Structure formats: structure tokens, C-alpha cells
Amino acid sequence: MNSLVRISTFVAFAAAMLLCASPQLAFAQKSKPPVSPPPIKYKITFLDASTTLWDINEAGAAAGWISTGSDMRAIVRLADGDVVDLTTVAQNSDPNYAWSLLDYAVAINESGQIAGRGWRIENGVPHARLFRYSPTEGVLEAIRNFDSGSTLFAQGMNDYGDVVVHAAQDGQSTLPSEPDAGDSVWVFSGAPGQGVAVHLLDSAVPAAINNFGEVAGAIDVGTRSAAFRFAPAQASFALFGTINGNTSSRYQVSDGLAINDHGTLAGWACTGKIKSKDNTSQRAVRLRSDGTWEDLMSSANNSWVRSINNHGDTVGFGAATGTGFIHFSGKLYSLRDLITNPPANLKNVYPKVIVDGGQICGAVLLQHPDGTTSESGVILTPVP
């Protein structure tokens, strides 16, 4: 079966599954916020050393992890500044699953629900499992209903608790650089304690899900992979190739790493063929309304967007320039230059998520007098 036939089959199957699912699986509708220009100055707040923040909500609560020796422990930094160790929460909340360690939290939504990956004990043997924690109900649940031969990665969660999941070949401990036949996309949805996993696509790796249930990621299309946007409720599937529209490159051509509630993708894309030769350099991109990529860093290769909010503002990183950036109002800025009173040893900013209110979470690299470096989780807050 060729790639296009395979994709269309998966789209039809996924649409049928979701349209026949219970109301708990239906993606809720949400109004879109008005567009307003973001601020251009940020106050920086540091967490303890060896912490990383992976997601933040509009209330300012952020999720991530802290490294403690050889272990990682999932944490939530609340809006009031208190930091909660989710391992303790897990041990107190879910005796049936005997969670012993939650090693990272990757998503937090507007309801305060948290998704991530943890460890639990089964007959004395530790096993990795994804989790979704709903603090209002006090429910910690394992994200399951998958084939036992898969390694699971939580890639994102929307405000309705729908978690998009990457199921990879068993034994795979890290995310692949390109999707292949062993990868698949699932969405875990439902009320707290009643979640059900629905299979969406094969040969694909998801990256994000928005509040309308649209999923973004990259899918195998033969000798390469390309960014996709999939709206299961509408059975709508779209592929996006290189920046110049050329889809004949023999190599990976694009990846949708983020999606907002307007369905706008952002991530990276190659420029395509230059003088009859494949150009595999990655450029930070955002999707235009006509379905083409906007190259946000022009000549800057090896760059990518990590997050896009509903105003179209994007944050990302340029590996070649060593620059964490924000792009808004048609201009690109180094985040380091926008921080008020930055520490003298601030070397790099690694942004992960930007919300509609302008707050950004991520990590920074600090340079110490002895030549060593360390990372710290940070929150960047707009200055009034």
C-alpha cells in the first residue's frame, strides 16, 4: 500500500472512530481570543538549578521536572510560586497503580490538569506509563488502552484534557528524528478517571493538539516525512512540504511542532531544492493562511519554532546562532535582549511555550566563572 493510500485509510478510520465515540470524546468548541500586540520586555523568574519547564497556562502555573542525581521528578510551579513535587501527589492519589516516581510533566492546561510520564510498580517490577492528573477531582490515572508492545510519549494536551500520544516501537527510549512504520498517533480523551485512547494515524509522530482537536506533527510520506494537520472531527487531513513548495526532496522536509486554535502550524521546514540539489537545512517557519510556509529567520539555518499562541506570536531557537527568539508583529527578536536586568552569566534562552497573555516558560543556560554551565527553569513575564 503506498503512502497516500495509507494516509487516506487512516483518516477515514480515525474519523469514523471519533464520530461514533461517546460524547466525552467529542472535542469541545472554544471562542478565540482577540488579537493584540504582545509586550516587548520580560521579567525573568528562576526556579532551582537543574529544573526545566515544559508548559505553562494562562494563570501562570507551569509543569516540568527537576533532576535529582540520576532521577528526574515531575514538578508543577504554581502561580503563587510554590513548587509541588508530583511524586508525593502520585503516591497519595493512586494506590491502585502504586506510582513510585513521576519522572517528567510535559503539559498543563487551563483547568490545571497535568500530563506526563511516570513509573509504577507491577509485581515488584517498575514500568513506564503515561499519566493524566486532574487536581480538582483528585484523580491520577494511567493513560492506557494501547498495545502492550509500544513505548508511549505524551506530546501535548488541550484545555479539555485531550492528550495527544505518540506510540513508538517497544524499547525506544527517545523520540525518533523521523517517523516510520513503527510510529502511531493516538488521543486519550474523557472525563477524569474515564479516559479512552483512540487511534488516529500510523507512520506519524504527533507534536501538539489544539482546543478544536486538531493535531499537528510529521508523517512518513515515503522517502521523507512532512508536516501534517489533522482534524479528526471533520476528517480533514493536510500535508505541508518544503518552504518553496517542492515536495520531491529525498529527505525530511518539514515538521509541525505547534498549532494554535486558528489551526496555524509552526515548526521547521527545509527550503527544498537549490540548483537541483536537496537542501536539508531546517528553517523556523509559520504557516500562512494560503497554506505556504513563512520563513521567520530567512538565512538562519538549523532553527525551529517550539510554540505559537492564538495571536500568531512564536517562540523558538536557532541552533546556528545560539539564539532563543520571539517573533511578533512581523519582527524577530532575541529573547535575551528583551529581558530586563538579565544576570551577567546568562548565555542562552531556550523557550518552550508562549501563551496568549505573553508569558513564556522554558530554561536558560548559565555560564559560571569556572567555565562550567548549568540550566535552570525560567518563566518570562511581560513587563507592564
> Does the residue 23 lie in any domain?
no
Q: Is residue 32 part of a domain?
A: no
What average pLDDT does range 113-127 have in this prediction? Answer: 79
What is the overall mean pLDDT for the chain? 82
Which pLDDT tens digit goes with each residue over 126-167? 677 889 999 999 888 888 877 667 788 999 999 999 999 999
What integer is the mean pLDDT of 88-100? 67
Q: Across the strands, what pairs with 339?
A: 42
Q: Is the pLDDT of residue 183 over 80?
A: yes
Q: What dihedral do alpha carbons 200, 62, 286, 2 form, nearest 10°?
A: -20
Three cell numbers, residue 75: 514538578
- C-alpha radius of gyration, the chain, whole number: 20
User: Which whole-number Å values give the CA distances from 9 to 26, 31, 74, 201, 237, in the listed order?
Assistant: 21, 32, 38, 9, 11
Given this model, what pLDDT does residue 7 score? 36
Structural domain that includes position 355: 3-17+42-382
Contact 267, 258 (CB under 8 A): yes
In a domain, 22, yes or no: no
Does residue 148 belong to any structural domain of this protein? Answer: yes
Would 124 be classed as within a structural domain?
yes
26 pLDDT tier (thresholds 50, 70, 90): very low
Angle at the Cα of 183 from the Cα atoms of 139 and 140, rounded to 5 degrees: 5
Tell me the pLDDT tens digit for each residue of 285-307: 999 999 999 999 866 678 999 99
Percent residues over pLDDT 90 in the chain: 48
HEC profile for the chain?
CCHHHHHHHHHHHHHHHHHCCCHHHCCCCCCCCCCCCCCCCEEEEEEEECEEEEEECCCCCEEEEEEECCEEEEEEECCCCCEEEHHHHHHHHCCCCCEEEEEEEEEECCCCCEEEEEEEEECCEEEEEEEEEECCCCEEEEECCCCCCEEEEEEEECCCCCEEEEEEECCCCCCCCCCCCCCEEEEEECCCCCCEEEEEEECEEEEEECCCCCEEEEEECCCCEEEEEEEHHHCEEEEECCCCCCCCCCCCCEEEEEECCCCCEEEEEEEEEECCEEEEEEEEEEECCCCCEEECCCCCCCEEEEEECCCCCEEEEECCCCEEEEEECCEEEEHHHHECCCCCCEEEEEEEEECCCCCEEEEEEEECCCCCEEEEEEEEEECC
pLDDT for 118 beyond 70: yes
Out of 51-55, 94-98, 257-261, pick the least confident.
Answer: 94-98
pLDDT digits (tens, 9 = 90+) for 240-283: 988 876 555 555 689 999 999 999 999 999 887 665 556 667 89
Is 305 a domain residue?
A: yes
- Of 43-52, 199-208, 319-328, the range with the highest mean pLDDT is 199-208
pTM equals 0.86
How far does Cα 116 stand from its chain's mean position? 11
Predicted confidence band of residue 68 (pLDDT cuts 50, 70, 90): confident
d(CA 178, CA 131): 25
Number of domains observed in the structure of the chain: 1
Residue 22 has a pLDDT of 32
Least confident of 12-26, 69-83, 257-271, 323-337: 12-26
CB 122 within 8 A of CB 73: no
Q: Is 27 inside any structural domain?
A: no
From CA 15, how far away is CA 4, in angstroms rounded? 17
The domain that holds 98 is classified in CATH as: 2.130.10.150
Nearest partner of 158 among 55, 33, 23, judged by Cα: 55
